[in-house]
């Protein structure tokens, strides 16, 4: 009899949230933890600033280059597309892919600047669909008390607050199109260890058992 587990693929798990919610710390710790256990896992950071497109995005975020809002939006999306095949291949090879941001940041940040929601959503259509997105939540007051904003373009209170509102719409869109279970909020308050425990409880099955079935297509 064939082993049913052999048809399982790696899970695609995305972390989203506003700046300073602790997302990058949690993502790094999670990948380390999985590797220590002997699980195969890979961290995929978005934007991936190492590629040619990523370098243009980096210059824009650091205000070293100016760009039309539509143009930079499409570059963020292109940056995800240039990583899409590698994500797909890894998932098919049983590797858990953990992404630090994805297309949901793409919509939330660009729509917060005033671009139409549909324009922001469309370029990412049919990218690999995350099996689960963890949206880390922190109030503006708590985020502000953590540390000062950095130097980058979007790190202002007004931009973060507009982005927060857009994330609410993005969450609704994911739930409507792909099912409620694919978008889970994680309370980002407390110590690093407390948040880590919350995350572990949510993703344990996905990372240890993988996923059955094909990789879906985003927004399709
Ligand atoms: P990070 O490297 O995680 O600090 O992200 C860089 C900044 O870029 C952060 O403020 C969020 C923003 N960002 C991430 N992805 C996108 C995207 O696809 N579109 C836009 N407009 N902004 C993004």
Task: Using the mean position of ligand 1's atoms as its centre, give its distance from the Cα of residue 104 in Å.
Answer: 10
Cis-peptide, bond into residue 41, ω within 30° of zero: no
What's the average model confidence in pLDDT over 32-55? 96
pLDDT over 80 (residue 147): no
Residue with the bigger pLDDT between 220 and 156: it is: 220
| pLDDT at residue 6 in the model | 59
Residue 148 has phi, psi (to 5 degrees) of: -70, 150
pLDDT score, position 141? 83
CATH numbers and ranges of domains, the chain: 4-209 (3.40.50.300)
Q: Is the pLDDT of residue 190 over 50?
A: yes
For the whole model, what pTM was predicted?
Answer: 0.95
pLDDT score at 8: 93
Reference 192, options 58, 24, 73, 51; nearest CA is 24
Is-contact 40 10, C-beta < 8 A?
yes
Express each pLDDT in 63-119 by its tens digit. 999 999 999 999 999 999 999 999 999 999 999 999 999 999 999 999 999 999 999
Ligand 1 center to 152 CA (angstroms): 10
Q: Cα 95 to the chain's mean position, in Å?
A: 17
CA atoms within 13 A on the CB side of 26: 31
Ligand 1, from 53, 73, 101, 107: best to mutate by most atoms within 8 Å of Cβ? 101
Determine the residue of 154, 158, 160 to mutate for testing ligand 1's pocket, defined as the one with the most ligand atoms within 8 A of the Cβ atom: 154
CA of 83 to the centre of ligand 1 (A): 16
Task: Name the residue at shortest CA distance from atom 18 of ligand 1.
Answer: 106
Q: What is the mean pLDDT of the chain?
A: 94
* pLDDT at residue 140 is higher than 70: yes
Separation between Cα atoms, residue 27 and residue 45, nearest integer Å: 9
Q: How far apart are CA 158 and CA 98, in angstroms?
A: 29
The tokens describing 6, both together, are 């052999």
Residue 215, token pair as written in the block = 């990789």
Secondary structure (DSSP) of the chain: ---GGGGEE--EEEEEESTTSSHHHHHHHHHHHHHHTT--EEEEESS-TTSHHHHHHHHHHTTSS---HHHHHHHHHHHHHHHHHHHHHHHHTT-EEEEES-HHHHHHHHHHTT--HHHHHGGGTTSBPPSEEEEEE--HHHHHHH----SSTT-SHHHHHHHHHHHHHHHHHHHHHH-GGGEEEEE--S-HHHHHHHHHHHHHHHHHH-EES---BTT-
What local confidence, expressed as pLDDT, does residue 142 receive? Answer: 86
Whole-number Å distance, alpha carbon 1 to ligand 1 midpoint, is 47
Give yes or no for residue 2 having a pLDDT over 50.
no
* Phi, psi of 103, rounded to the nearest 5 degrees: -60, -20
In this prediction, residue 94 carries a pLDDT of 96
Give the integer Cα–Cα distance in Å for 195 and 27.
11
The atom of ligand 1 lying closest to the CA of 77 is 18
Ligand 1 atom closest to Cα of residue 80: 18
pLDDT at 4: 47
Pick from 67-81, 134-148, 151-165, 170-184: least confident: 134-148
Ligand 1 site residues, Cβ closer than 6 angstroms: 19, 46-47, 61, 73, 76, 101, 105-106, 109-110, 152, 154
Distance 126 CA to ligand 1 centre (A): 20
d(CA 46, CA 157): 22
């Amino acid at each position: 009899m064939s082993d049913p587990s052999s048809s399982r693929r790696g899970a695609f798990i995305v972390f989203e949230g506003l700046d300073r919610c602790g997302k990058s710390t949690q993502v790094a710790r999670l990948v380390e933890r999985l590797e220590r256990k002997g699980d195969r896992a890979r961290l995929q950071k978005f934007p991936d600033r190492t590629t040619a497109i990523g370098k243009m995005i980096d210059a824009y975020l650091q205000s070293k280059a100016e760009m039309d809002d539509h143009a930079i939006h499409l570059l963020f999306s292109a940056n995800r597309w240039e990583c899409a095949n590698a994500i797909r291949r890894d998932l098919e090879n049983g590797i858990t892919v953990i992404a630090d941001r994805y297309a949901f940041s793409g919509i939330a940040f660009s729509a917060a600047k005033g671009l139409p929601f549909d324009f922001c959503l469309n370029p990412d259509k049919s990218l690999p669909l995350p099996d689960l997105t963890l949206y880390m939540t922190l109030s503006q007051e708590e985020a502000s008390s953590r540390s000062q904003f950095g130097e980058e373009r979007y790190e202002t209170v007004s931009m973060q607050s507009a982005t927060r509102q857009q994330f609410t719409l993005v969450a609704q869109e994911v739930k409507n199109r792909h099912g409620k279970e694919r978008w889970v909020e994680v309370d980002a308050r407390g110590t690093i260890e407390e948040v880590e425990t919350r995350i572990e409880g949510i993703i344990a099955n996905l990372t240890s058992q993988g996923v059955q079935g094909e990789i879906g297509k985003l927004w399709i």
